[in-house]
Homo-oligomer: A and B are copies of this chain.
Amino acid sequence: MSSIKDVAKAANVSTATVSRVLANHPHVRQEVRERVLAAVAQLEYRPNLIARNLRSQQSNTLGLIVSDIRNPFFTAVSRAVEDTAYAHGYNVLLCNTDENPEKELLYLQLMGDEQVAGVIFSPTLQTLNRFHELNLSFPTVLIDRSLRSGDVDAVLLDNVSAGYTLAQHLINQGYRRIGAIFGEASTTGRERQRGFEDALRDAGISMQPEYLRFVRPRSEAGHSTTLDLLRLPQPPEAIFTSNSLLTAGALQAIRERRLQMPEQIGLVGFDDTAWASLVQPAITVLAQPTDEIGRSATELVLQRVADPQRPTRKIILQGELIVRESSVEQRVRA
């Protein structure tokens, strides 16, 4: 591997001049510039990014800390983050926390050690609550979850409104007794719950506490909780789930109990996954704009890298209700 010294020697200039040419500094004679470029090409010189980072005290790497890469929502967002980051000349360091606050702290620390330029992060409620004590040394943009009050950049779904829309849809279709399953460790679940409850209240439906569940946002929990709900003396007529893993588990439970969808039970969830339109009946979902979320978050963090002083911003995006067959008009049902 040739270094900047080799290039300098080959072009008969100082390393400073090589550096200037590479950084496109203005005051370099055309002839010299060409000589340097020729040497660079000749030696197949590639700058050592580690050295550059050490010297400039910041790297071209962005950290991406997600709670579960197997959740299609985060997969899709990661994809968008990755694309956008590389388009801006940044790399992505990927971390997976499994909703584990200890891992979150560990990875956050790692990001500091790696001197990343910035971080995109979907935190648990626990870490969120002590977020400001953390005193992170790098710009951070939260995705999917944040506190209303917090002075942090964030890109979020309008979860209250999304929860409202989805619940309202069920109500409009004639469902009255609605069981709802939310992720327990995030703000997202709580906000969607608020929208859900608002919709019921506005429709004059009294909420039954035993219909409301907060669980680990995984398909196993979706499965067992749905079975629980269906076992109640008066089981719900529809199931509302707050992420796609929960939806999958609920669907599995409904299948096991051999209930007809949507006649005997309705089902709705979040995120327009590949399978939501593949199963029969296809599932009604509140789709999140994952590309937009990933792209906005990346741009936001890059903007803050460029200007650390700028006031924080929260970008709130709207979801889109996609009505399919898993929830359908009451009069059509039995």
Contacts and interface: CB of A to CB of B under 8 A. Distances in A.
Interface of A: 1, 46-51, 53-54, 59, 61, 64, 69-70, 75-76, 78-79, 82-83, 86, 91-96, 109-110, 112-115, 137, 219, 248, 251-252, 255, 273-275, 277-280
Contact of A137 (B1, B59, B78, B113): B1
Copies of this protein, total: 2
B114 A94 contact: no
B82 A75 contact: no
A81 to B, nearest CB: 9
Contacts of A59: 50
Contacts of A69: 75, 78-79, 82
A110 B96 contact: no
Contacts of A75: 69-70, 75
B115 A50 contact: yes
A94 B92 contact: yes
Nearest to A75: B75
A179 to B, nearest CB: 19
A115 B79 CA distance: 23
Given A64-B94, A252-B278, A273-B275, 10 more contacts: A46-B109, A49-B114, A50-B54, A69-B75, A70-B76, A79-B96, A82-B96, A93-B93, A274-B275, A278-B279
A82 B94 CA distance: 8
5 nearest interchain CB pairs? A275-B275, A94-B94, A50-B54, A49-B113, A50-B53
A275 B275 CA distance: 6
Contact of A47 (B50, B94, B113): B113
Contact of A46 (B61, B113, B255, B274): B113
A72 to B, nearest CB: 8
Contacts of A64: 94
B48 A51 contact: no
Nearest to A281: B280
B279 A280 contact: yes
Contacts of A252: 277-278
B93 A91 contact: yes
A220 B78 CA distance: 21
Contacts of A79: 69-70, 96
